[in-house]
Chains A and B, each alone.
Chain A
Amino acid sequence: MIKFFLMVNKQGQTRLSKYYEHVEINKRTLLETEVIKSCLSRSSEQCSFIEYKDFKLIYRQYAALFIVVGVNDTENEMAIYEFIHNFVEVLDDYFSRVHNVFNVMLITL
């Protein structure tokens, strides 16, 4: 089950956050900073799945934006990885003004 969905930029600011399980406000910021720290410190050589406490974090980088999904261990990691890309493609189709930005990202895949 997906626990949370975050979009974070490279400076560490959260652009979008959606929690599917109740988490206190102050704990949220703590969670976000820790998650961002572990994602930002990884190089492109390393795999996209991180183990963090009792979640698994699946992240994907699009230019200056990181999309991080936190799941529990019943999920198929690779399906979630595909899902993140699907989400980005939907955004791209729906908000055509961001087409150029996303175009660059799609090419890099």
Chain B
Amino acid sequence: MVASSSSLKLQDLIQEIREAKTQAQEREVIQKECAHIRASFRDGDPLHRHRQLAKLLYVHMLGYPAHFGQMECLKLIASPRFTDKRVGYLGAMLLLDERQDAHLLITNSIKNDLSQGIQAVQGLALCTLSATGSAEMCRDLATEVEKLLLQPSAYVRKKAVLTAVHMIRKVPELSNIFLPPCAQLLHEHHHGVLLGTITLITELCERSPAALKHFRKMVPQLVHILRTLVTTGYSTEHSISGVSDPFLQVQILRLLRILGRNHEESSETMNDLLAQVATNTDTSRNAGNAVLFETVLTIMDIRSAAGLRVLAVNILGRFLLNNDRNIRYVALTSLLRLVQSDHSAVQRHRPTVVECLREPDGSLSRRALELSLALVNSSNVRAMTQELQGFLESCPPDLQADCASGILLAAERFAPTKRWHIDTTLRVLMTAGTHVRDDAVANLTQLIGGAQELHAYSVRRLYSALAEDISQQPLVQVAAWCIGEYGDLLLEGSCEETEPLQVEEEEVLALLERVLQSHMSLPATRGYALTALMKLSTRLHGDNNRIRQVVSVYGSCLDVELQQRAVEYNTLFRKYDHMRAAILEKIPLVERGGSQADEEAKESKETAQLSEAAPVPTEPQASKLLDLLDLLDGPSGDAQHPPPLDPTPGGALIHLLNLPCAPPPPAPIPNLKVFEREGLQLNLSFVRPPGTPTLLLITVTATNTSGGDVTHFICQAAVPKSFQLQLQAPSGDTVPAQGGLPTTQLLRILNPKKAPLRLKLRLTYNHFGQSVQEIFEVNNLPVETWQ
């Protein structure tokens, strides 16, 4: 049995393995064979060792363990016969990688073989060295390899160059050994050796700046080689689809790129050649396109002439129009790299890039998206956004987030008008609402708040969008906020920028309630909707029963945040109704950056003052709610919720008060007494808000120290034409007698031209049974009011 299997040839073994029908059968055959091989190795039969090892290598390729063959490799390598050496070296390459202990032992054998002088043997040794040479081996054998670089035989030279490349990669310090022969090797005619040499030079230049300087002197020679390649006619040996040796051409171009980078002189030498290659290469097949692509990359990287760069961009543009997708992908990637430096040149190809957005291929459309976003500028923003929004509607979900944020960023930077900006953001939210970034909501509310003239328009559009679809959370949040803030504008009637929309109060309330009850709404969205409902209680003219009902229902909601708000709003309705209008006024525009947090802090500051004053009343209210719950047969679990609510509101809100809301006020302007008659005094106090330098706020305070009340008190003001005046409603029209609560009225004056302020006041009132009318101009206004 041993004799028969030792004479089993490799081909027979392969046949047997192929004939095995199942995995188990195969394993059986192989195990049997391996046992024989092992026995044969132990016996030490030199004649058939190579055959055994060959079988072992085949088995190893199939994935079975073969480590016991390592020492056999060594023995075979050391043998004088070529057949043995051949299999031995093959085994060494497959089985003896760097981590095996036996690896170093082949160094000596390789050394002997390298100096032997027989080409085939030298070739084998060089192959093994280049495939698995470790750092120590490389250091030991570097000089040997260097000697072989100048051998007469091209076969050996080629392998020696490849080994040199491997050595440089492993041990960069060996570069000084391999530097000198390179100059001579460049005169090669054999393409294989030439290709190897170019690769060697590339590796040397990448690893050491001294080598780079040295090889810059060879640029003219390289240029000459490439020129010969391009201009000589068809040569069967090296031609691939009509291009002579594209691999060599690409390699030379890459080396030229490295040499020409940041170096004027070399770049100049290359200019003509690059133009020649670019124009003469046949682009009907892939090989030509590969060469052209490499040329474009080189032109982009070196200090090329402007004309050459334009040529490169045009080539890329031509690639974009090609039907082959590979070429388009390559073109898009390169254009993306170019867009920073040659923006205007790339702009010319914008329509083609936008075409590529419609590709079904994922990698292409992603590249096209990135490039389109980079190409948006103020002149093409409308058209581009249109295209990008079309893309957003149809693109796969993983690209939606990028596309949405890209559009929003572009809109922010280049929006031609505020209305366009709002429209664009709205459309993005409607299409891809779930994928936008978190600050999109804040930005949009900020934007709408700032565009006063567009309030009516925005609230109408948002209302229609919300009525159609309440699933997109960011959209719902913004819409709820807007409806709350500008609900009165919504109901007013017509707005010239949208179609007339007749909206009833009941519809608005019903919509907000739907948002509150929908299971798709996030807790944050519900919070927005609840607050909006509260604000509407002051803006709408109908009675507030429906709102009060909703708010009180949410007083027992499971969500703590909602419950807290609902209880506070409830308290507003019941105990502090007179303050409700003031608290729920329109939010003034907040500075960018502090926005959302400040607005909420301001709102909660006011409600905190409310709940600070009423910690005790919440208890009986909570117990009243409990009674209600018992009546309604609510779950007993709710009994737990109202009591823990009590200690938290004040505590939770008080630390919110520590948020810095407003900058410290500037030095106050002194008050001015302007009128005095029979105990009725009129005082003016001035405030210049620091954020708006043209705004002046005057508070007119009327105090009555006489014995009789002043009734029907009306104060009117007039200013010169260049100013804008806004009078707000007074706190009352009766100034009670004997130092009672004074009446205040706020005047807002806008002074864009910073002209000196002149103010005329007209008072009409009844005092002591007489009606009095006074008109006077306010003199000696302090300078700080208008400067």
A positions within 8 Å CB-CB of B: 45-51, 76-79, 81-83, 86
B241: nearest residue on chain A (CB-CB)?
A82
Give the distance in Å from the alpha carbon of A82 to the alpha carbon of B286 in the complex: 7
Min CB–CB distance B256 → chain A (angstroms)? 13
Contact present for B290 and A81 (CB under 8 Å):
yes
Query: Distance (Å) between the CB of B411 and the closest chain A CB?
Result: 29
Q: Is the CB of A79 within 8 A of B326?
A: no
Chain B residue, CB-CB nearest to A46: B361
A-B contact sample (12 more), CB < 8 A, given A45-B325, A47-B328: A46-B360, A47-B364, A50-B363, A76-B250, A78-B326, A79-B247, A79-B250, A79-B290, A81-B286, A82-B286, A82-B287, A86-B240
Rounded to whole angstroms, the CA-CA distance of A7 and B735 in the bound complex is 96
Which of A48, A83, A86 is the one whose CB lies under 8 Å from B326? A48
Residues of A near B364 (CB, < 8 A) are 46-47
Q: Which residues of chain B have C-beta atoms less than 8 A from A45's C-beta?
A: 325, 360-361
A76 to B293, CA, bound (A): 8
Q: Name the contact of A83 in the complex, choosing from B247, B325, B361, B363 (C-beta under 8 A).
A: B247
Smallest Cβ-Cβ distance to A80: which chain B residue: B290
Does B598 make an interface contact (CB < 8 A)? no
Smallest distance from the beta carbon of A15 to chain B beta carbons, Å?
10
Q: Which B residues lie within 8 Å of A81 (CB)?
A: 286, 290, 326
**Chain B neighbourhood of A78, CB < 8 A:** 286, 289-290, 293, 326-327, 330
Q: Which of A46, A50, A82, A86 contacts B325 (CB 8 A)?
A: A46
Which residues of B are at the interface with A, using a C-beta cutoff of 8 A? Answer: 240, 246-247, 250, 254, 286-287, 289-290, 293-294, 297, 325-330, 360-364
Query: Within 8 Å CB of A47, what residues of B?
Result: 325-326, 328-329, 361, 363-364
Partner of A79, one of B294, B360, B362, B363: B294
Chain A residue with the shortest CB-CB distance to B293 = A78
Least Cβ distance of A39 to chain B in Å? 13
Contact of B246 among A51, A77, A82 (CB under 8 A): A82
Contacts of B360 in A (CB 8 A): 45-46
Residues of B within 8 A of A82 (CB): 240, 246-247, 286-287, 290
Closest 10 CB pairs of A and B: A47-B325, A78-B290, A46-B361, A79-B290, A47-B329, A79-B250, A47-B326, A76-B294, A82-B287, A48-B326
**Nearest CB on A from B332, distance (A):** 10
Q: Which residues of B contact A49 (CB under 8 A)?
A: 326, 329-330, 363
A-B pairs with beta carbons under 8 Å apart, 18 shown: A46-B362, A47-B325, A47-B326, A47-B329, A47-B361, A47-B364, A48-B325, A48-B326, A49-B330, A50-B363, A76-B250, A76-B254, A78-B293, A79-B247, A79-B293, A82-B247, A82-B286, A82-B290
Contact B325 A51 (CB under 8 A): no
Residues of A within 8 A of B246 (CB): 79, 82
Residues from chain A with Cβ under 8 Å of B325 in the complex: 45-48
* Chain A residue contacts of B289, Cβ below 8 A: 78
Say yes or no: A76 contacts B361, CB within 8 Å.
no
Q: CA of A81 to CA of B289 in the docked complex: distance in angstroms?
A: 11
Chain B residues whose C-beta falls within 8 Å of the C-beta of A77 in the assembled complex: 326, 329-330
Question: In the docked arrangement, what's the CA distance between A79 and B249, Å?
Answer: 10
A46 to B293, CA, bound (A): 20
Tell me the smallest distance from the CB of B160 to a CB of chain A, in Å: 20
State the Cβ distance, B289 to closest chain A Cβ, in Å: 6
A48 neighbours in B (Cβ, 8 Å) = 325-326
List the B residue with the shortest CB-CB distance to A74.
Answer: B254
Complex Cα distance, B356 from A47, in Å, reads: 13
| A48, B246: Cα distance in complex, Å | 20
- A86 CA / B361 CA spacing, docked (Å): 27
Alpha-carbon gap, A50 to B293, bound state (A): 18
* Structural contact, A76 and B329, CB atoms closer than 8 A: no
Residues of A within 8 A of B294 (CB): 76, 79
Q: Which residues of B contact A79 (CB under 8 A)?
A: 246-247, 250, 290, 293-294
A9 smallest CB distance to B (angstroms): 15
* Cβ–Cβ < 8 Å partners of B286 in chain A: 78, 81-82
**B363 and A51 contacting across the interface, CB-CB below 8 Å:** yes
Determine the chain A residues whose CB is within 8 A of the CB of B329 once the complex forms.
47, 49, 77
The complex places the Cα of A82 from the Cα of B241 at a distance, in Å, of 10
B297 close to A76 (CB less than 8 A) = yes
A-chain residues with CB within 8 Å of residue B327 when the two chains form the complex: 78
Whole-angstrom CA separation of A50 from B326 in the bound complex = 10
Q: How many angstroms between the C-alpha atoms of A79 and B247 in the bound complex? A: 7
Docked complex Cα distance between A45 and B254 (Å): 30
Most buried by B among A47, A49, A50, A83: A47
A73 to chain B, nearest CB (A): 9
A51 contact set on B, CB distance < 8 A: 363
Which residue in chain B gives the minimum CB-CB distance to A76? B294
A81 to B286, CA, bound (A): 8
Inter-chain CA distance A96–B327, complex, in Å, is: 32
By beta carbon, the residue of chain A nearest B325 is A47
Alpha-carbon gap, A80 to B289, bound state (A): 12
Are B363 and A76 in touch, CB under 8 angstroms? no
User: Which B-chain residue is minimally distant from A83 (CB atoms)?
Assistant: B247
**Residues of the A chain whose Cβ atoms lie less than 8 Å from the Cβ of B247:** 79, 82-83, 86
Q: How far is the CA of A48 from the CA of B247 in the complex (A)?
A: 19
In angstroms, Cα B325 to Cα A47, docked, is: 5
**Distance (Å) between the CB of B355 and the closest chain A CB?**
15
Least CB distance from A74 to B in Å reads 8
Chain A's nearest CB lies how many Å from the CB of B168? 13
Residue of chain A at shortest CB distance from B287? A82
| Docked complex Cα distance between A45 and B246 (Å) | 26
- Distance in Å: Cβ of B322 to nearest Cβ of chain A: 11
Residues of A within 8 A of B297 (CB): 76
Tell me the smallest distance from the CB of A30 to a CB of chain B, in Å.
16
Q: How far is the CA of A51 from the CA of B250 in the complex (A)?
A: 22
- Contact partners of B287 in chain A: CB under 8 A: 82
B236 to chain A, nearest CB (A): 14
Q: Which residue of A lies closest to B289 (CB)?
A: A78
Q: How far is the CA of A92 from the CA of B247 in the complex (A)?
A: 19
Q: Which residue of A lies closest to B246 (CB)?
A: A82
Q: Residue on B with the closest CB to A49?
A: B329
Of A49, A77, A82, most buried by chain B (CB within 10 Å of CB) is A82
The chain A residue with its CB closest to the CB of B61 is A16
Distance between Cα atoms of A48 and B328 in the complex (Å): 11
* Smallest CB separation, B342 vs chain A (Å): 21
**CA gap between A86 and B286 in the complex, in Å:** 12
Q: Identify the closest chain B residue to A14 (Cβ).
A: B63
Within the assembled complex, what's the spacing in Å between the Cα atoms of A106 and B723? 84
Alpha-carbon distance A8/B150, docked complex (angstroms): 40
Per the bound structure, the CA–CA distance linking A82 and B250 in Å amounts to 11
Expressed in whole angstroms, the minimum distance between the Cβ of A62 and any Cβ of chain B is 15
- Quote the shortest CB–CB distance from B334 to chain A (angstroms): 11
Chain A hits for B361, CB < 8 A: 45-47
- Alpha-carbon distance A45/B330, docked complex (angstroms): 16
A11 to chain B, nearest CB (A): 15
Docked Cα-Cα span, A46 to B364, in Å, equals 8
- A54 to B286 CA separation, bound complex (whole angstroms): 25
CB distance from A66 to the nearest CB of B (A): 16
Cα distance A77–B289 when bound, in Å?
Answer: 11
Instruction: Report the separation of the CA atoms of residues A78 and B326 in the bound assembly, to the nearest whole angstrom.
Output: 8
Query: A77 vs B329: C-alpha distance in the bound complex, in angstroms?
Result: 10
Q: Are A76 and B362 in contact (CB under 8 A)?
A: no
Q: Within the assembled complex, what's the spacing in Å between the Cα atoms of A83 and B291?
A: 12
- Bound-state CA distance A78–B289 (Å) is 7
A96 to chain B, nearest CB (A): 17
Please, which residues of chain A bring their CB within 8 A of the CB of B363?
46-47, 49-51
Q: How far is the CB of B641 from chain A (nearest CB, A)?
A: 50
Question: Which residue from chain B places its CB closest to the CB of A89 in the assembled complex?
Answer: B240
Question: Shortest beta-carbon distance, B528 to chain A, in Å?
Answer: 40
> What residues of B have a CB within 8 angstroms of the CB of A86 in the complex?
240, 247
Chain A residues lying within 8 Å of B326, measured Cβ to Cβ, are: 47-49, 77-78, 81
CA distance A50 to B333 in the complex (A): 12
From A48, which residue of chain B is reached at the shortest CB distance? B326
The distance in angstroms between the C-alpha atoms of A82 and B330, with both chains bound, is: 14
